[in-house]
């Protein structure tokens, strides 16, 4: 594949096809004849007239997805997944493209000591940039949109500003965060975590790749030439605000026929390993009344956790179950299972945890909790239970000013259909924005995911939805810059 940078001049893609009609009722201001236009001098109508190009955005997505092509799921050329592991050779190709492309758009590109890439376009005044950020790495069997959309839409914003010679008051830019997926080096969002000061850089640099390889993050950063000499920190590379466009990775927007999720925050989660201990015994010679069946107790606990979470509007899930000895004719005496509790509200996660801790002890002792012993044979033997906390991630609340920039942009874009086409949402998954929100005003924008699928080759978001997301991303960044210019943030 040949990628020419910059793109052929004179290219004119279609703009937001699906929502052209939204604007057709108004006089659409054309910025095409305007040179060196200062954003702060523009009217609301002029701001709405600055449009991203759907066709150009999709070309960036699909051409750069030639680096790290994954499993094929359909017959069309773009119907493949992605397998672009962080700091691999294909990740280097995508990073090289990021540098070359943004430089031609007038940006200065800085790489920090975690390989995070910051492409910054100057404004009329100096100051930290307002950025669009996400990630170019994927899962080993990932898709073409998770992370990739957020970065390429940021680049489409730069292209649009460049084409129209728009002068923002302060710098704006795009960030590519390293190893967001945590698929190759096993900590998710590790490099935004280092930038935020939550993860020590030595710990991140020493992370070994998953599998039999011996490479570390630092050795791979060196190997592909992306170990930058700027410290990875919010002090060495300050940002003014961080906006992240991302696929929803869930089914809600599609099911409700909405176009944009206005993300309010990321839900809290706690992960536990629950250990249940009973006694191994023969399945044929030991009556029900003489068993300490660890799996039977664990099964009741898992059902209880579902009921406890349901009562509070939370989520509780078990994804790992390990039982010993693992023999058809032996009642298992030892069971470990994972428990993942989530809610947008920290106190609800704590309440479900406390409820389960009390109930699990009683269940292990053989008590009838929540009618879980109905039709069961009582036993003279009991089990014990213990908990280990594996992870604790408090709820993230995004910044009201950033959220309002997104909301105002959708109002200008969708007009009277804004309420029908948008939804206030909480992210169920973690993102780099969780870490950036600890240091700078941050929010996220979601677009629909087909069937709610992600981390899979069939992950898909319609081109018009990608473009609508990119339009809202750009509008939000520009609105934030306007507020800064007016001294309101």
* 144-154 CB burial, b ≥16 within 10 A, e <16: bbbbbbbbbbb
CB of 431 to Zn ion, least distance (A): 6
Residue 385 CB contacts under 8 Å (≥ 6 apart), including other chains:
274, 275, 276, 277, 297, 301, 360, 361, 363, 364
CB of 146 to Zn ion, least distance (A): 4
On whether the CB atoms of residues 108 and 462 are closer than 8 A, the answer is: no
Whose Cβ is closer to Zn ion: residue 199's or residue 359's?
Answer: 199
* DSSP labels, 218-264: HHHHHHTT---SB-SSTTTS--SEEEEEEE--SSHHHHTT-SEEEEE
CB of 364 to Zn ion, least distance (A): 39
CA distance readout (Å), 302 to 341, 359, 373: 12, 11, 14
CB of 432 to Zn ion, least distance (A): 8
Whose Cβ is closer to Zn ion: residue 146's or residue 481's?
Answer: 146
Residue 1 CB contacts under 8 Å (≥ 6 apart), including other chains:
63, 66
> Which stretch in 3-11, 77-85, 142-150, 343-351 sits in contact with Zn ion by CB under 5 A?
142-150
Whose Cβ is closer to Zn ion: residue 147's or residue 344's?
Answer: 147
CB of 271 to Zn ion, least distance (A): 19
* CA nearest neighbour of 404 among 485, 487, 475: 475
Handedness of CA 153, 159, 161, 163 (dihedral sign): negative
On whether the CB atoms of residues 289 and 378 are closer than 8 A, the answer is: yes
The secondary structure element, H or E, covering residue 121 is: strand 117-121
* 315-343 CB burial, b ≥16 within 10 A, e <16: bbebeeeebeeeeeeebbbbbbbebbbbb
CB of 246 to Zn ion, least distance (A): 6
When asked if residue 133 is in the footprint of Zn ion (CB under 5 A), the reply is no
CB of 417 to Zn ion, least distance (A): 28
The secondary structure element, H or E, covering residue 387 is: strand 384-393
Whose Cβ is closer to Zn ion: residue 49's or residue 142's?
Answer: 142
Kindly provide the residue ranges of all beta strands, DSSP E only, lying in 16-92, ordered along the sequence: 37-38, 69-72, 80-82
For Zn ion (CB under 5 A), the number of binding residues is 2
* CA nearest neighbour of 309 among 239, 253, 256, 356: 356
Whose Cβ is closer to Zn ion: residue 147's or residue 485's?
Answer: 147
> Which stretch in 144-152, 200-208, 251-259, 474-482 sits in contact with Zn ion by CB under 5 A?
144-152
Whose Cβ is closer to Zn ion: residue 143's or residue 147's?
Answer: 147
CB of 465 to Zn ion, least distance (A): 16
Residues 402, 423: Cα–Cα separation, whole Å: 16
Whose Cβ is closer to Zn ion: residue 169's or residue 396's?
Answer: 396
CB of 138 to Zn ion, least distance (A): 9
Q: Which residues are 133's β-sheet partners?
A: 175
Whose Cβ is closer to Zn ion: residue 112's or residue 244's?
Answer: 244
**Six token digits for residue 146:** 């998770």
When asked if residue 147 is in the footprint of Zn ion (CB under 5 A), the reply is yes
CB of 313 to Zn ion, least distance (A): 25
Interface pick for Zn ion out of 146, 244, 293, 464 (rule CB under 5 A): 146
Per-residue contact track with Zn ion, 175 to 194, x per CB under 5 A?
--------------------
Whose Cβ is closer to Zn ion: residue 135's or residue 399's?
Answer: 135
* CA nearest neighbour of 335 among 369, 360, 316: 360
Whose Cβ is closer to Zn ion: residue 193's or residue 485's?
Answer: 193
CB of 392 to Zn ion, least distance (A): 21
Whose Cβ is closer to Zn ion: residue 153's or residue 421's?
Answer: 153
Per-residue contact track with Zn ion, 22 to 41, x per CB under 5 A?
--------------------
* CA nearest neighbour of 172 among 162, 182, 181, 164: 162
> Which stretch in 46-54, 145-153, 228-236, 478-486 sits in contact with Zn ion by CB under 5 A?
145-153
**Six token digits for residue 37:** 């236009």
CB of 461 to Zn ion, least distance (A): 12
Could you count the other beta carbons within 10 Å of the beta carbon of residue 35? 7
> Which stretch in 54-62, 147-155, 217-225, 457-465 sits in contact with Zn ion by CB under 5 A?
147-155
Near Zn ion in 220-249, by CB under 5 A: none
> Which stretch in 123-131, 139-147, 170-178, 408-416 sits in contact with Zn ion by CB under 5 A?
139-147
DSSP code, position 129:
P
CB of 393 to Zn ion, least distance (A): 16
When asked if residue 143 is in the footprint of Zn ion (CB under 5 A), the reply is no
> Which stretch in 141-149, 368-376, 410-418, 459-467 sits in contact with Zn ion by CB under 5 A?
141-149
The secondary structure element, H or E, covering residue 340 is: strand 334-343
What residue is closest to Zn ion based on CB? 147
Which stretches of the chain bind Zn ion, using CB under 5 A?
A: 146-147
């Amino acid at each position: 594949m040949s990628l020419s940078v910059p793109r052929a001049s004179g290219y004119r893609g279609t703009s937001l096809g699906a929502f052209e009609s939204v604007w057709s009722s108004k006089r659409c201001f054309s910025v095409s004849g305007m040179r060196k236009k200062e954003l702060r001098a523009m009217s609301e109508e002029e701001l709405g007239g600055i449009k991203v190009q759907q066709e150009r955005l999709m070309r960036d997505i699909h051409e750069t997805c030639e680096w790290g092509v994954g499993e094929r799921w359909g017959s069309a050329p773009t119907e493949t997944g992605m397998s672009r592991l962080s700091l691999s050779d294909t990740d280097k190709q995508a990073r090289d493209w990021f540098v070359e492309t943004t430089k031609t758009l007038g940006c200065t590109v800085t790489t920090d000591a975690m390989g995070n890439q910051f492409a910054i376009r100057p404004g009329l005044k100096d100051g930290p940039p307002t950025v669009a950020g996400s990630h170019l790495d994927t899962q080993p069997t990932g898709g073409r949109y998770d992370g990739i959309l957020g970065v390429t839409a940021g680049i489409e914003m730069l292209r649009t500003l460049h084409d129209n010679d728009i002068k923002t008051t302060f710098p704006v830019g795009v960030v590519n965060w390293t190893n967001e997926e945590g698929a190759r080096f096993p900590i998710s969002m590790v490099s935004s975590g280092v930038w935020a000061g939550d993860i020590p850089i030595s710990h991140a640099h020493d992370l070994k790749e998953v599998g039999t390889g011996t490479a570390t993050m630092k050795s791979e950063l060196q190997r592909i030439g992306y170990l930058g000499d700027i410290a990875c920190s919010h002090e060495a590379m300050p940002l003014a605000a961080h906006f992240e466009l991302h696929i929803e990775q869930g089914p809600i927007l599609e099911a409700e026929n909405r176009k944009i999720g206005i993300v309010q925050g990321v839900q809290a989660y706690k992960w536990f390993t629950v250990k249940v201990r009973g006694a191994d015994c023969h399945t044929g010679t030991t009556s029900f009344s003489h068993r300490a069946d660890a799996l039977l107790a664990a099964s009741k606990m898992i059902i209880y956790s579902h009921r406890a979470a349901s009562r509070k509007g939370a989520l509780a899930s078990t994804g790992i179950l390990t039982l010993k000895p693992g023999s058809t004719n032996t009642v298992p005496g030892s069971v470990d299972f994972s428990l993942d509790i989530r809610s947008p509200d920290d106190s609800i996660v704590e309440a479900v945890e406390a409820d389960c801790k009390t109930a699990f002890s009683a269940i292990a002792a053989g008590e009838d909790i929540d009618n879980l012993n109905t039709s069961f044979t009582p036993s003279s033997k009991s089990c014990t239970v213990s908990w280990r906390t594996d992870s604790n991630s408090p709820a993230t609340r995004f910044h009201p000013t950033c959220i309002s920039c997104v909301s105002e942009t959708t109002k200008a874009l969708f007009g009277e259909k804004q309420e029908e086409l948008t939804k206030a949402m909480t992210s169920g998954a973690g993102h780099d924005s969780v870490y950036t929100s600890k240091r700078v005003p941050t929010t996220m924008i979601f677009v629909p995911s087909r069937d709610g699928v992600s981390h899979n080759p069939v992950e898909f978001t319609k081109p018009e939805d990608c473009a609508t997301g990119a339009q809202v991303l750009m509008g939000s960044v520009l609105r934030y810059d306007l507020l800064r210019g007016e001294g309101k943030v």
